[in-house]
Amino acid sequence: MKLFFTLCSFELTRYYASLTDILNSVAFFALIIIISAVSAGPTFTNNDYLVIGSIWTASVLSCVLTLDLIFNKDFREGTADLFILCSVSLEILSLAKAFSYWLTNCLSIITVASFTFLLMGFKFEFILNFLVCISLVTLTMSLIGVALSALTANSRNGTLLLTILVFPMMIPPVIFGTSSSLNAYNGLDVSNEVLFLIGFFMLLLSTLPWASAAAIKTRIH
């Protein structure tokens, strides 16, 4: 656990040293919401389903925007080679990177999205459900992003390739997350959707760190 927290501290320091990337994600989120509101016209604020869909779309796309940064610096600066030479557990490194990425990039988007729902007058119970679902979805995305970023970092058209690879894997959790929000808005039971998101996250948590470690070794060697 000490190694995990040490690596998390190292990653968080690197992220906060370049706040521009986090601010770009927040600005991208705001831009999608503004474009959705302008294109929909006066009906945007009167159609809660449209608002929910737009905020979910903006949240997911904003988090995907910076996935390629997870391993870029490591391979460019030689940090990945140093981890290998020091016999650092690559599985723990992958978990630390996923958690650090979520704490910086994803959590900022989640906070802004929740505040947007609050400003638009949505009920507290709905916002709480959204927080749970979007947290599970973005945690899942972080795990997927670490594995794929290790494969595509610093490669030609790596950002485009990463985006193409990550979206098909994110379709199931996004569908169930959005469905949970719509059910919560209508006062329906959301347990099935939440249980699926938890199960999907736990499945990836138990497999992707090893896949990420294999991807790092493949890129190094």
**pLDDT confidence of residue 158:** 66
Q: Contacts for 178-184 with beta carbons within 8 Å, 24 or more apart?
A: 178/52, 178/53, 178/56, 180/129, 180/133, 181/52, 181/56, 181/126, 181/129, 181/130, 181/133, 182/49, 182/52, 184/125, 184/126, 184/129, 184/130
Query: What is d(CA 170, CA 140) in angstroms, rounded to the nearest whole number?
Result: 8
Distances (CA, A) of 157 to 79, 125, 162, 207, 211: 22, 42, 9, 27, 22
- The pLDDT, as a whole number, for residue 147 is 87
Give me 116's structure tokens. Answer: 């947007």
Residue with tokens 């790092």: 216
Instruction: Provide the 3-class DSSP secondary structure of residue 121.
Output: coil
Q: Amino acid identity of 60?
A: V
What is the full per-residue pLDDT of the chain (221 aa) written as tens digits?
788 888 888 888 888 777 787 888 889 998 998 888 888 777 766 778 888 989 999 999 888 888 888 887 777 777 777 887 787 888 898 999 999 999 988 999 999 999 989 888 889 999 999 999 999 999 999 999 888 888 887 666 667 788 888 888 889 999 999 999 999 999 899 999 999 999 999 999 999 889 888 888 877 76
- Asked whether the CA dihedral 115, 119, 124, 125 is positive or negative, the reply is negative
pTM to 2 decimal places: 0.91
Alpha-carbon distance 131 to 182, whole Å? 13
